[in-house]
Amino acid sequence: MIICGVDPGLTRCGVGVIEARASRQLSFVHVDVVRSDPEQSQDLRLLTIYNGLAEKIDQFSPDVVSIERVFAQANRNTVLGTAQAAGLAMLAAAQRGIPVALHTPTEVKLAVTGNGQAEKIQVERMVARILRLDRLPKPADAADALAQAMCHALRPSGALQGGEREQHLTQAQRQWAQAQHSNRRRGSVQRDM
């Protein structure tokens, strides 16, 4: 399975492509950053990001596009640009009939490092280690895009089912599955109130 990870951003949009095999072995395929010029008008910047994302998706024909789920940040301008870039990635995938998955930064950190509160450098080091890279992917947007793709590949709801799946989960995946289960339970309790 080819997975394209997207770390959305209006100035720098990370794109990381990996291959995930049934044995949960991950291989590096490609990483890049699509950039837009902050001096341009926002419409032209969005067009630049969209064209760059569409080009990467066409080049690598992924089976799924995994995008960072946007969350509210203190800086509204940053979150707006991030949300717009995420929407462009979803649009590019949808136009090509490619499924989209959304994962939060905490889910990504937990899947890749086993710690949902991991520092950026820890994520970068684990990305390089798991993908057997000679050096850390730079800039951070590139590493985040690869981590996003890896998160989707390592998610507990992978191809294995039932007890067989439980036997093949890493410690990080077990922790992630437990955290998801707890979040779902809290959500159902709140809806019942």
CATH of the domain at 104: 3.30.420.10
Residue 27: which domain range?
2-192
Q: Judge whether 141 is annotated as a binding position.
A: yes
Has 141 been annotated as catalytic?
Answer: yes
List the 26-35 sheet strands across, edge first.
26-35, 12-20, 2-7, 64-68, 100-103
Q: Judge whether 55 is annotated as a binding position.
A: no
- Active-site residue (options: 32, 119, 134, 141): 141
Q: Judge whether 58 is annotated as a binding position.
A: no
Count up the domains in the chain and report the number: 1
Q: What pLDDT was estimated at residue 125?
A: 94
Q: What pLDDT was estimated at residue 178?
A: 62
Residue carrying the six token digits 């947007």: 141
| Mean pLDDT (10-residue bins), the chain, 193 residues | 96 96 89 96 96 97 94 70 94 96 93 91 94 91 95 68 41 58 53 41
- Helix, strand, coil percentages for the chain (3-state, nearest 5): 55, 20, 30
Q: What pLDDT was estimated at residue 191?
A: 41
3-state secondary structure of 133: coil
Q: What pLDDT was estimated at residue 165?
A: 38
Q: How long a stretch of residues is the chain?
A: 193
Has 63 been annotated as catalytic?
Answer: no
Residue 31, beta-bridge partner list = 16
- Active-site residue (options: 68, 107, 124, 144): 68
Has 68 been annotated as catalytic?
Answer: yes
Contacts of residue 14, Cβ cutoff 8 Å, sequence gap at least 6: 5, 6, 7, 31, 32, 33, 139, 140, 141, 142, 143, 144, 145, 146, 148
Q: What pLDDT was estimated at residue 189?
A: 42
3-state secondary structure of 14: strand
For residues 152 and 62, what is the distance between their CA atoms, to the nearest angstrom? 13
Provide the residue type at 166 as one letter: E
For residues 36 and 150, what is the distance between their CA atoms, to the nearest angstrom? 25
Is 16 in contact with 31 (CB distance < 8 Å)?
yes
Q: What pLDDT was estimated at residue 51?
A: 98
